[in-house]
């Protein structure tokens, strides 16, 4: 952090100083994701950019889904591709990822340099009623210096005329994914040309938005999906941190969503019934603006948002929403609908927010508890273990929780969506929040099997995942402390260690080696929704960190007796933690990768039985 007014209490261990240990579902998922990134053709990922600028597409085939040549969101997947390559290269050091990064970034820079003119001067021939792509500009010399995207800037001009979705589709969202990928590339890999492109984009945004009034921008950002801008305020704040150029901070503040930020800062729920993933990244951006400016309203908005979401809008797996939107606070059971809950992108962004907030409060393990919940029960479950000729790393759009719902997965090239994009990133950075270092201690927060090494210590966490327990070895190079998170679902796994709040503490001197074995005993519990359904309590079954599901094809709600916890027993010898109540078999959410299943159940209580 170079120019921020507020800095975190420490730093996460960078991926190039950590490793994911071999074995188990995390490692297997990562292997599929890395294989997919090795095989993805960069020229296909550049197809729409080259076509937009009238350049040779080098015989590459176009993409499908939202990246189709006429798709209004085309180009966002390439931004995620750059992010994923950056994460993969940082995590593995494999040159194929670095080579692809350099190639894609360089080709984008060549195109960007074709854009000329004043960004604010560009006008479209289209109107909100007549916006066919045949009328879009074909002259990059008019698009504005610094412009780069997979389509001309007509969608931006149409947004300024308050054109609605789906005549246009979130142009700043696409531009944010590209910018975020470039900044990830610069941050993780150090490719300077990526920063050059990002600065050009930031300059274009600043000059384009500056003539608009705050009220004009407020109306734009309130438009459903059309005004979705991802976390552009986050990227502009990051650019300011890297460069110290005040125009990027000014640009970040132009994305302040005055429809929701002030209320959130006061602790009000201003997000009910809004599109979930349209707004979560804005909150990450708000927190980055707090870091950049020190303005406490930004911090309050981010902290309150996270609390409101996790206390009043979150399902047991850590996901949110129905049909992509938040619903009324505490109306969870009423909105469990087939396969339309828990968009994967929303969990991806909530985990990013938790990671950001934790960095300022490393003793507040609640953020890492959420991270663990979503990582194990949504993200780990979002990739299919089945590899086919056209599906190397298939990922979910929604992670269904409705009765008898079944997952569907994307393929390699023909079903690009936002969640396919974040899915390229999710499975190559599993250990990204495992180790957090302050001046006084290393915090170990996730037990998925990983190691870290720096000039202070080496720490290795051999995990018993999915069965409870972990063995931790620490080789101290200097006098230091290590703090092991005690999972909220496990009372006291680290015998003989001092406990401070949610952490067990190991202190070591230079040259010493410490070993500790943690025993994570699982016990079943019910997690109820705040509301009832047809008069019945509704709950998910949890076992240690796992949300447990029942494989059952019926689309009718399954009913469990009120004494279900007394009747649940572990199934010995099962390949994954498994429970039975004598009538149903429960397995972790991630293990139900094919076929229909049930996540929530009606609970027959004495009161409902009497009715």
296 backbone dihedrals φ, ψ, rounded to 5°:
-70, -20
Average pLDDT, whole number, for the chain? 96
CA distances for 186 relative to 5, 101, 181, 198, 601, angstroms: 22, 10, 9, 9, 47
User: Going by C-beta distance under 8 Å and a sequence separation of 6 or more, which residues neighbour residue 586?
Assistant: 541, 543, 548, 549, 550, 568, 578, 579, 580
User: Going by C-beta distance under 8 Å and a sequence separation of 6 or more, which residues neighbour residue 566?
Assistant: none
- Going by C-alpha positions, the residue among 131, 132, 156 that lies closest to residue 143 is 156
Q: Residues 294, 6: contact at Cβ < 8 Å?
A: yes
Structural domains of the chain ordered from first start: 40-255 (no CATH), 435-465+469-518 (2.60.420), 524-610 (no CATH)
Q: Would you place residue 607 in the very low, low, confident or very high pLDDT band (cuts 50, 70, 90)?
A: very low
Reduce the DSSP state of residue 240 to 3 states and report it. Answer: helix
Residue 465 has pLDDT above 60, yes or no: yes
Cα–Cα distance between 269 and 332 in angstroms, integer?
A: 15
- 195-221: average pLDDT: 97
User: Going by C-beta distance under 8 Å and a sequence separation of 6 or more, which residues neighbour residue 309?
Assistant: 271, 280, 320, 326, 350
Query: Encoding tokens for residue 569?
Result: 């027993």
Give the model confidence (pLDDT) of 544-586 as tens digits.
Answer: 999 999 999 999 999 999 999 999 999 999 999 999 999 999 9
Residue 611 has pLDDT above 50, yes or no: no
CA distances for 125 relative to 13, 44, 115, 578, angstroms: 50, 29, 18, 61
Other Cβ atoms less than 10 A from the Cβ of 81: the count is: 26
User: Going by C-beta distance under 8 Å and a sequence separation of 6 or more, which residues neighbour residue 572?
Assistant: none
Residue 82 has pLDDT above 70, yes or no: yes
pLDDT of residue 609: 38
Pairing of strands 435-437, 441-444: antiparallel
Query: Encoding tokens for residue 198?
Result: 């990002």
Give the model confidence (pLDDT) of 473-525 as tens digits.
Answer: 999 999 999 999 999 999 889 988 999 999 999 999 999 999 999 999 999 99
Cα–Cα distance between 446 and 311 in angstroms, integer?
A: 22
pLDDT of residue 610: 34
B/e letters for 2-16, b = 16+ CB within 10 Å, e = fewer, are: ebbebebbbebbebe
- 389-414: average pLDDT: 97
Give the model confidence (pLDDT) of 229-258 as tens digits.
Answer: 999 999 999 999 999 999 999 999 999 999
Percent of the chain having pLDDT more than 70? Answer: 99
Give the model confidence (pLDDT) of 265-285 as tens digits.
Answer: 999 999 999 999 999 999 999
pTM: 0.97
Give the model confidence (pLDDT) of 348-393 as tens digits.
Answer: 999 999 999 999 999 999 999 999 999 999 999 999 999 999 999 9
490 backbone dihedrals φ, ψ, rounded to 5°:
-135, 115
Q: Would you place residue 398 in the very low, low, confident or very high pLDDT band (cuts 50, 70, 90)?
A: very high
Residue 527 has pLDDT above 70, yes or no: yes
Query: Encoding tokens for residue 607?
Result: 């009161």
Other Cβ atoms less than 10 A from the Cβ of 377: the count is: 29
Sign of the Cα pseudo-torsion (144, 147, 153, 158, in order): negative
Cα–Cα distance between 179 and 478 in angstroms, integer?
A: 39
Q: Would you place residue 1 in the very low, low, confident or very high pLDDT band (cuts 50, 70, 90)?
A: low
């Amino acid at each position: 952090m170079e120019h921020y007014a507020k800095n975190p209490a420490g730093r996460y261990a960078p991926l190039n100083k950590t490793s994911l240990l071999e074995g188990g579902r995390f490692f297997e998922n990562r292997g599929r994701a890395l294989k997919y990134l090795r095989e993805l053709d960069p020229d296909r990922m550049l197809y729409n950019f080259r076509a937009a600028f009238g350049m040779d597409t080098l015989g590459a085939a176009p993409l499908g889904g939202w990246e189709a040549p006429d798709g209004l969101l085309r180009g966002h997947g390439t931004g995620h591709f750059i992010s994923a390559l950056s994460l993969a290269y940082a995590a593995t050091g494999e040159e194929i990822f670095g080579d692809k990064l350099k190639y894609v970034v360089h080709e984008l820079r060549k195109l960007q340099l074709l854009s000329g003119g004043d960004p604010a001067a560009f006008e479209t021939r289209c109107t909100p009623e007549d916006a066919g792509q045949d009328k879009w500009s074909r002259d990059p010399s008019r698009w504005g210096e610094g412009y780069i995207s997979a389509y001309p800037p007509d969608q931006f001009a149409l947004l300024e005329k308050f054109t609605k979705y789906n005549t246009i589709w979130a142009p700043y969202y696409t531009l944010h994914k590209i910018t975020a990928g470039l900044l990830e590339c610069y941050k993780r890999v150090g490719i300077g040309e990526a920063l050059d492109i990002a600065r050009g984009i930031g300059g274009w945004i600043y000059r384009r938005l500056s003539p608009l009034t705050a009220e004009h921008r407020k109306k734009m950002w309130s438009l459903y999906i059309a005004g979705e801008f991802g976390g552009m305020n986050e990227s502009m704040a990051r650019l300011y941190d890297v460069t110290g150029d005040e125009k990027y901070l000014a640009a970040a503040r132009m994305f302040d969503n005055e429809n929701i930020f002030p209320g959130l800062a006061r602790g009000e729920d201003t997000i009910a019934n809004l599109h979930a993933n349209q707004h979560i990244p804005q909150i990450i951006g708000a927190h980055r603006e707090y870091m950049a400016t020190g303005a406490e309203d930004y911090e309050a908005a981010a902290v309150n948002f996270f609390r409101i979401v996790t206390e009043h809008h979150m399902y047991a797996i850590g996901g949110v929403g129905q049909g992509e939107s938040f619903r009324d606070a505490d109306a969870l059971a009423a909105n469990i609908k087939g396969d339309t809950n828990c968009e994967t992108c929303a969990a991806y962004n909530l985990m990013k927010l938790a990671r950001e907030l934790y960095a300022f409060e490393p003793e507040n393990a609640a953020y890492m508890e959420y991270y663990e919940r979503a990582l194990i029960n949504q993200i780990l479950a979002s990739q299919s273990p089945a590899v086919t000729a056209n599906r190397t790393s298939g990922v979910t759009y929604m992670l269904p929780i409705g009765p008898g719902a079944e997952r569907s997965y994307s393929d390699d090239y023909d079903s690009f969506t936002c969640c396919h994009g974040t899915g390229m990133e999710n499975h190559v950075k599993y250990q990204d929040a495992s180790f957090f270092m302050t001046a006084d201690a290393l915090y170990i927060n996730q037990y998925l099997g990983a190691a870290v090494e720096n000039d202070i210590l080496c720490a290795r966490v051999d995990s018993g995942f999915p069965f409870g327990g972990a063995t931790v070895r620490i080789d101290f190079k200097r006098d230091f402390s290590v703090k092991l998170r005690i999972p909220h679902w496990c009372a006291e796994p680290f015998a003989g260690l001092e406990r401070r709040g949610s952490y067990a503490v190991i202190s070591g001197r230079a040259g010493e080696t410490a070993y500790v074995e943690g025993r994570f005993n699982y016990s079943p519990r019910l997690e109820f929704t705040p509301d009832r359904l047809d008069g019945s309590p509704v709950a998910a079954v949890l076992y240690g960190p796992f949300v447990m599901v029942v494989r059952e094809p019926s689309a009718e709600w399954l009913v469990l007796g009120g004494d279900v916890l007394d009747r649940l027993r572990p199934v010995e010898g099962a390949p994954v933690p498994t429970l039975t109540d004598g009538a149903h078999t429960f397995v972790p959410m991630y293990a139900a990768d094919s076929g229909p299943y049930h996540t929530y159940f009606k609970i027959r209580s004495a009161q409902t039985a009497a009715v």
